[in-house]
Chains A and B, each alone.
Chain A
Amino acid sequence: MAEVFDIAVVGSGPAGLSAAARAAETGVSHVLLETELHLSNTIYRYQKGKHVMAEPDILPLRSPLDFVAGPREAVLGAWDKGIAQHKTNVYHQNEVIAIEKQGDQFKLTVKGGGEIHAKNVVLSIGLQGNFRKLGTPGEDLPFVQYTLDDPDEYADETIMVIGAGDAAIENAVSLAKQNRVIIVNRRDEFARAKDANEAAILKAIEDGKVEVFYNTTIERVDAVEGAEKPGKIVLNTPDGQAEVELDRIIARLGAIPPRRFVESCGIVFPNDDPVSVPEITPKYESNVEGLYIIGALAGYPLIKQAMNQGYEVVEFIKGNDVEPADEPLLRSKFQDMPGFTTVHDALVKVQKNVRLLAPITELQLREFMLDSDVRTPVPGEKIFSLNDYTNTFFSIVEGQVNIVVDEETGRTISLGAGEFFGEMSLISGRRRSATAIAGQGAVLIETPRRTMNKLINSVDAVKRVIDEAFIMRVIQSRFAPDTPAEKLQDIVAAATIQNFRAGDVLFEEGESGDCIHLVRVGSLTISRTIGGREVVLSYVPAGNYVGEMALLGDNTRSATAKAAIATETIQLDGEAFKQLLLREPELRLRLQAEYRQRAAANLSMEAQPEGGDVISFLVAQGVGEATDILLIDEALCVRCDNCEKACAETHNGTSRLNREAGPTYATVHVPTSCRHCEHPHCMKDCPPDAIHRAPNGEVFIADNCIGCGNCQRNCPYGVIHMSAQMPKKPGILQWLMFGRGPGPGQDPAGKKKAKGEKKAVKCDMCKGIKGGPACVRSCPTGAAIRISPEELSSYAQSLS
């Protein structure tokens, strides 16, 4: 009878390592099972020198192993050392293929027939555990690999990259510098990849740097003896089979979520959503008693969390109840909440009061709370005010909050415990639509945009609740301020959220229709066909509505509404709305007033179609999603590049804008510079969450940028680039008089290259500096201006 371990740890990721090490430290009999010859395969597979982060840095590390942010090698080194120190019992090349419970212990079957018995199993296999292979003969030949550490290792080879994802593209492009690279794509486009990567690969193909097979699958891979190339691949291309001799195949087909395996262990998932993770108790125990799940598989992708869980799970198994690592943090957060006893109670209270947060697990809530703040503002304190550019989300735990819906009359509606606010800016990405003032005994949870979005996207319930509230409030604020919520139920019920891709048509001129669209994300252009050509009449940013004309007049649309960018609208049913109009006579009047204004504006635009062309041109340049864009009137621009110089000089030597680049229509030039999008693409995946939006709307990169370059790739306008810290320049006079040192706009590093690790830089609208953006301030001729989309129509008219 083989030895029975107390704990078998499956998978030597951060979580597993930490668990095993803790077990070793505390003398618990244990075994760590790892498929590979090395530990922590995922991180081992990171590209050479990749910077590994220790997020969230507020969270204390709790593990026998050291872990600090640093290059991959350092991290791995530290762990190997730690493992060795604690004499951890590691079985390499033990790929567990089955776990079954036998009485009070588990039998782990290892590929190749071995068996291991343990009382408890800690499943820490993560998600990346095993890469998807070619699934064809020859998939394991020596020259076939599924990762790429250092593209520079290979030169003058013929390399075939298989896959159409970001990894594949990045590898292909970087390899193409020194090799003949062929990329094989199962489909006919690279839609799966990030825009930046897609653009990159398409360009590479364009330039002939990379060859490509579209709609091509792999038949088989053969090794060739004696030939100069070690291998040969047979492809099924649309026009028959093709053979290619090559030195190397790099397949980046992603990883299989190990769900099948996990379920085979008897663990149940809450739903079929591929991203969903198994349900576990606060002690990380799954529905199978004695089988614990930690790490990415448990929904904790961050290394530090995983390591902490490794530590904790061992403690739990040993039966002592450790408080979670984030306990002290949470405690400090809840501290000043009235009637605070324990974190647990507080969390329970939160979930009881805030129905929005009811559907999530306590662990999720803990994480949620880690990012959030508990605020107890004194009555009358401004939480945020109209037109602030904050986009945090507030939930009311206790007390009440007054929202000033009408600045003139100062009329407010008050929200009570359990409700939430701030979702408008969160969703539309625009300025605050109202001022929020704390009422009696208000206890709020303020949650940053990123965390909130994560929650919304992972838990449907949350999304639904928020959407409903959003619709209700929009209708209230835009149409029927005085009508109580319940009276609006019918129209809210009839309202639906519509999604449009850029260029989609909401409704056509002349067609009949009576629904109203409230733009909640993105923006629209209103156009009309005059003399056979489309003339843009106006531009409708988020927060406004279209289509009411049809309701007031006859039912035919007077113009065409198009989505300028990916847009979400709330579609209000015409009938319900007409009912509303009947109930609200003055609303009708108000709409008619606006109607007249718009009609007038439209007429003036029709009078001067050029203006419309300018709008449509600018919209085509993505002004649609901008909140503030730099425009240059080339009739005034004398190409002195003082704007660039100013930018460089005010941002230690690197200009964040490129005047020359960028398109021009008539005399309007859109230089390459940040538009401070409503939903900044750069924010999408910023590992350290270093990109923020300042109260005045500037999207800026904080110092904790780690230079991963994601934002650079994600920005569709190419306005972000990586740059190192530049040396100080000598005074301007020294240059003016004696030409000492590099002049304005010249690279401060001068001849010698700038050293120091690179960080992402982008326009921050000179938010540090008084007097507004340097580029505009330093334009001698008044060619450069910054405008926000709201001003677009008036701008267009001013030009023509």
Chain B
Amino acid sequence: MRWLIRTITRKAKGTIAHSDESVTADSLNLGRSPGQDVFLSDLRVALEHARIESLKGSRFRIESLISAGVRVDGKLQQAAGAGVGSRIEIGHHLIRIIKPPAGYDAAIEISESEAASEPNVSKFSDRPFSLGKTWLSKRGPAWAFFLLFLGIGLALPVAGYFVPGLQEKLRASPLPSDNQWESGTLQAAHHFFGEDCSTCHTEAFRMVKDEACVACHATTAAHADPEYFALPELAEERCASCHKDHNGLDGLVRQDQRLCSDCHSDLDATSNGLTTLANADDFTANHPQFKVELAAWGANGEFMPRRESLSSDLLSEDSNLKFPHDVHVAAEGINAPDGKQVLDCGDCHQAEPGGGKMLPVKYETMCADCHTLGFDAQAPDRQVPHGKVAEVLFMLEEYYANRALEGGYEDVTAPAVVRQRRRVGSIQRLSQTERAAALAWARSKSRRVGEDLFEGQACSVCHRVTRSGEGDTLAWQVSPVRVAGVWFPKAEFTHGSHTTMTCESCHDARESAFSDDVLIPGIDNCRACHGGEDNSRKVASTCVSCHNYHIYDEVIMASGNAE
């Protein structure tokens, strides 16, 4: 086949000179040795450097004859296919395969490559020497990252907020929803709705509203009667101003002393003198003596408990009960039916299950062993019922009438008819007179016994007993017993959390001879172990350790003040 080999030499001012020659061969050999079809005079060319082979359909195969290879279309290769327009670079020579003109089967064009003029650095000139010239870039990635994080972090969730239903889809999908905004773990109790931010965050760019809280916490009491204490501080606070969530599993309730001390360090000022409460802001430094609630009765006998400071001299409990603790808990013991017995507090005072209050003391289980209600030596196991005054007299009369009619009752003071034994089934044989005498005795007898019970050996030992009437109208009253059920209604004390202590360490019952002694320990006793918030050597106890904030239950937060 016939090749056209066109050599192009550039002249100044862009003038270009061709010189054509034609070769007839199947393939062209390119090289620096004279024998080559295409002679390339350049030391960078090997003697036999490459071969161009013509395949069918004006395709060509370029093959390097040396290990250095040839550049075909910019790539250094050992062998490569090529077509019209391909560029082959060998040394300084640029060989282009061009469309063969009429009369030729193939044509190549040889010219000095642009670099030829400056052979030196040309080899490197096309290669980047600084990162700036590589594909690296700052602007592109910067934008990409910026938009990426803005989109994922902001655009998506916000869209979710405004497009109804989208947020749920997002949460369901692996795509990030507004949950990525959760700044910290929710308080344990809130977890069950924590997934859905809008439960609390109802409105964009507005702080969480109280409505959101009281939706569940409907029965939360107010702190104080807003009528008197509508203090701005209280009115303007939001639930969330104390209850800050997203701060871990607990810690939703403020424990700090400042919560109270802000107002309670100077109540007169903060409540315009409307309060009766004393100032308090630190358990060690500034807290009034405890007040206990004692039983008391109004003018017409209605129950009106009174509060007394534990350090006031009006402090005495009148429970209508006569009970000297010292006798009962005496160390050497107390006389019991079967010899001496040593009692301890627990025998009478037992905590409620849960350890909150104490169970009431019961006669039947706790006193009856010693304080029996028997009345007739000839029938030692007969007893009058406890706590039922009317029944006692009735029961006595019935008992003695019965004994009189039966007869055989050993008593010198009794008439014969009561003493003589009867034969079986001979009752009806008693005469009217006999019968009357027997019953009369029985009546007087029961009176005497009753009197002895009430005023003598039984009731009046523990209870306050008053008698009224004479003769047939004679009767006794036992004043009802009333002990203070809850000593500290405004604070919370549980024995449960003090089980490590002995009772004596707080209540010195052994010293108490009178039943109107109040054995509740005062503040100093607590201070022995408890101190204020920042007391490092004692149990640091803040206000809310004993007191509650939401205590004024006449007003419910739900009908709330805030907002």
Asked if chains A and B are in direct contact (CB within 8 A), the reply is: yes
Chain A interfacial positions (CB closer than 8 Å to B): 152, 155-156, 177-178, 736-739
Query: Is the Cβ of B13 less than 8 Å from the Cβ of A152?
Result: yes
Binary interface encoding of chain B residues 9-44 relative to chain A, with 1 for a CB under 8 A from any of its CBs, else 0: 001110100000000000000000000000000000
Contacts of A737 in B (CB 8 A): 139
Binary interface encoding of chain B residues 132-174 relative to chain A, with 1 for a CB under 8 A from any of its CBs, else 0: 0000000100000000000000000000000000000000000
Query: Is the Cβ of A155 less than 8 Å from the Cβ of B139?
Result: no
Contacts of B11 in A (CB 8 A): 155-156, 178
CB distance from B125 to the nearest CB of A (A): 16
CB distance from B116 to the nearest CB of A (A): 15
CB neighbors of A among B336-392 (8 A): none
Query: Is the Cβ of A152 less than 8 Å from the Cβ of B139?
Result: no
Give the size of the chain B interface in residues (CB under 8 angstroms): 5
Chain B interfacial positions (CB closer than 8 Å to A): 11-13, 15, 139
Which residue of A152, A736, A738, A739 is within 8 Å of B12 (Cβ)?
A152
Query: Is the Cβ of A178 less than 8 Å from the Cβ of B12?
Result: yes
Q: Could you list 8 A-B pairs, sorted by A, with CB under 8 Å? A: A152-B12, A155-B12, A155-B13, A156-B11, A177-B12, A178-B12, A738-B139, A739-B139
Question: In the docked arrangement, what's the CA distance between A178 and B12, Å?
Answer: 6
Query: Is the Cβ of A156 less than 8 Å from the Cβ of B12?
Result: yes
Closest A residue to B17 by CB, please name it.
Answer: A156
- Additional A-B contacts beyond A155-B11, A737-B139 (8; CB < 8 A): A152-B12, A155-B13, A155-B15, A156-B11, A156-B12, A178-B12, A738-B139, A739-B139
How many Cβ-Cβ contacts under 8 Å join chain A to chain B?
15
Question: In the docked arrangement, what's the CA distance between A178 and B13, Å?
Answer: 9
Question: In the docked arrangement, what's the CA distance between A152 and B15, Å?
Answer: 12
Most buried by A among B11, B12, B13, B139: B12
Contacts of B13 in A (CB 8 A): 152, 155
Closest B residue to A738 by CB, please name it.
Answer: B139
Contacts of B12 in A (CB 8 A): 152, 155-156, 177-178
CB distance from A55 to the nearest CB of B (A): 34
Contacts of A155 in B (CB 8 A): 11-13, 15
CB distance from B27 to the nearest CB of A (A): 34
Question: In the docked arrangement, what's the CA distance between A118 and B137, Å?
Answer: 82
Question: In the docked arrangement, what's the CA distance between A739 and B15, Å?
Answer: 39
Nearest 10 A/B pairs, CB to CB: A178-B12, A155-B12, A155-B11, A739-B139, A156-B11, A152-B13, A152-B12, A155-B13, A177-B12, A156-B12
CB distance from B128 to the nearest CB of A (A): 15
CB distance from B15 to the nearest CB of A (A): 8
CB distance from A645 to the nearest CB of B (A): 12
Question: In the docked arrangement, what's the CA distance between A156 and B15, Å?
Answer: 11
Question: In the docked arrangement, what's the CA distance between A736 and B33, Å?
Answer: 56
Question: In the docked arrangement, what's the CA distance between A514 and B11, Å?
Answer: 68
CB distance from B137 to the nearest CB of A (A): 9
Question: In the docked arrangement, what's the CA distance between A119 and B15, Å?
Answer: 57
Question: In the docked arrangement, what's the CA distance between A540 and B139, Å?
Answer: 52
Contacts of B139 in A (CB 8 A): 736-739
Closest A residue to B137 by CB, please name it.
Answer: A739
Question: In the docked arrangement, what's the CA distance between A737 and B146, Å?
Answer: 12
Question: In the docked arrangement, what's the CA distance between A178 and B15, Å?
Answer: 12
Contacts of A156 in B (CB 8 A): 11-12
CB distance from A13 to the nearest CB of B (A): 33
Contacts of A178 in B (CB 8 A): 11-12
Question: In the docked arrangement, what's the CA distance between A739 and B138, Å?
Answer: 11
Question: In the docked arrangement, what's the CA distance between A178 and B11, Å?
Answer: 8
CB distance from B483 to the nearest CB of A (A): 84
Question: In the docked arrangement, what's the CA distance between A23 and B374, Å?
Answer: 175
CB distance from B147 to the nearest CB of A (A): 13
CB distance from A703 to the nearest CB of B (A): 33
Contacts of A736 in B (CB 8 A): 139
CB distance from B143 to the nearest CB of A (A): 8
Question: In the docked arrangement, what's the CA distance between A23 and B139, Å?
Answer: 73
Question: In the docked arrangement, what's the CA distance between A739 and B12, Å?
Answer: 38
Closest B residue to A639 by CB, please name it.
Answer: B130
Closest B residue to A154 by CB, please name it.
Answer: B12
CB distance from B422 to the nearest CB of A (A): 129
Question: In the docked arrangement, what's the CA distance between A738 and B142, Å?
Answer: 11
CB distance from B138 to the nearest CB of A (A): 10
Closest B residue to A178 by CB, please name it.
Answer: B12
Question: In the docked arrangement, what's the CA distance between A405 and B11, Å?
Answer: 68
Contacts of A177 in B (CB 8 A): 12
CB distance from B20 to the nearest CB of A (A): 20
CB distance from A628 to the nearest CB of B (A): 31
Question: In the docked arrangement, what's the CA distance between A178 and B117, Å?
Answer: 12
CB distance from B18 to the nearest CB of A (A): 15
CB distance from B536 to the nearest CB of A (A): 53
CB distance from A648 to the nearest CB of B (A): 16
CB distance from B13 to the nearest CB of A (A): 7
Question: In the docked arrangement, what's the CA distance between A155 and B12, Å?
Answer: 6
CB distance from A304 to the nearest CB of B (A): 36
Contacts of B15 in A (CB 8 A): 155
CB distance from A773 to the nearest CB of B (A): 25
Question: In the docked arrangement, what's the CA distance between A739 and B132, Å?
Answer: 14
CB distance from A178 to the nearest CB of B (A): 4
CB distance from A110 to the nearest CB of B (A): 42
Question: In the docked arrangement, what's the CA distance between A772 and B13, Å?
Answer: 46
CB distance from B124 to the nearest CB of A (A): 16
CB distance from A731 to the nearest CB of B (A): 15
Question: In the docked arrangement, what's the CA distance between A156 and B17, Å?
Answer: 12
CB distance from A172 to the nearest CB of B (A): 16
Closest B residue to A151 by CB, please name it.
Answer: B12
CB distance from B430 to the nearest CB of A (A): 130
CB distance from A288 to the nearest CB of B (A): 52
Question: In the docked arrangement, what's the CA distance between A738 and B139, Å?
Answer: 8
CB distance from B340 to the nearest CB of A (A): 99
Closest B residue to A156 by CB, please name it.
Answer: B11
CB distance from B207 to the nearest CB of A (A): 36
Question: In the docked arrangement, what's the CA distance between A737 and B139, Å?
Answer: 7
Closest B residue to A155 by CB, please name it.
Answer: B12
Question: In the docked arrangement, what's the CA distance between A458 and B13, Å?
Answer: 46
Closest B residue to A179 by CB, please name it.
Answer: B12
Closest B residue to A736 by CB, please name it.
Answer: B139
CB distance from B247 to the nearest CB of A (A): 40
Contacts of A738 in B (CB 8 A): 139
CB distance from B136 to the nearest CB of A (A): 14
Contacts of A152 in B (CB 8 A): 12-13
Question: In the docked arrangement, what's the CA distance between A155 and B15, Å?
Answer: 10
Question: In the docked arrangement, what's the CA distance between A596 and B139, Å?
Answer: 61
CB distance from A734 to the nearest CB of B (A): 12
Question: In the docked arrangement, what's the CA distance between A738 and B15, Å?
Answer: 42
Question: In the docked arrangement, what's the CA distance between A155 and B13, Å?
Answer: 9
CB distance from A693 to the nearest CB of B (A): 38
Question: In the docked arrangement, what's the CA distance between A401 and B256, Å?
Answer: 87
Question: In the docked arrangement, what's the CA distance between A736 and B139, Å?
Answer: 8
Question: In the docked arrangement, what's the CA distance between A737 and B12, Å?
Answer: 44
Question: In the docked arrangement, what's the CA distance between A736 and B11, Å?
Answer: 44
Question: In the docked arrangement, what's the CA distance between A360 and B451, Å?
Answer: 165
Question: In the docked arrangement, what's the CA distance between A739 and B139, Å?
Answer: 8
Question: In the docked arrangement, what's the CA distance between A737 and B138, Å?
Answer: 10
Question: In the docked arrangement, what's the CA distance between A49 and B139, Å?
Answer: 46
Closest B residue to A739 by CB, please name it.
Answer: B139
Closest A residue to B130 by CB, please name it.
Answer: A639
Question: In the docked arrangement, what's the CA distance between A103 and B57, Å?
Answer: 97
Question: In the docked arrangement, what's the CA distance between A738 and B138, Å?
Answer: 11
CB distance from A181 to the nearest CB of B (A): 13
CB distance from B133 to the nearest CB of A (A): 12
Contacts of A739 in B (CB 8 A): 139
Question: In the docked arrangement, what's the CA distance between A750 and B65, Å?
Answer: 43
CB distance from B425 to the nearest CB of A (A): 129
Question: In the docked arrangement, what's the CA distance between A233 and B11, Å?
Answer: 26
CB distance from A517 to the nearest CB of B (A): 48
Question: In the docked arrangement, what's the CA distance between A408 and B524, Å?
Answer: 86
CB distance from A771 to the nearest CB of B (A): 28
CB distance from A53 to the nearest CB of B (A): 29
Question: In the docked arrangement, what's the CA distance between A525 and B469, Å?
Answer: 143
CB distance from B509 to the nearest CB of A (A): 85
CB distance from B406 to the nearest CB of A (A): 122
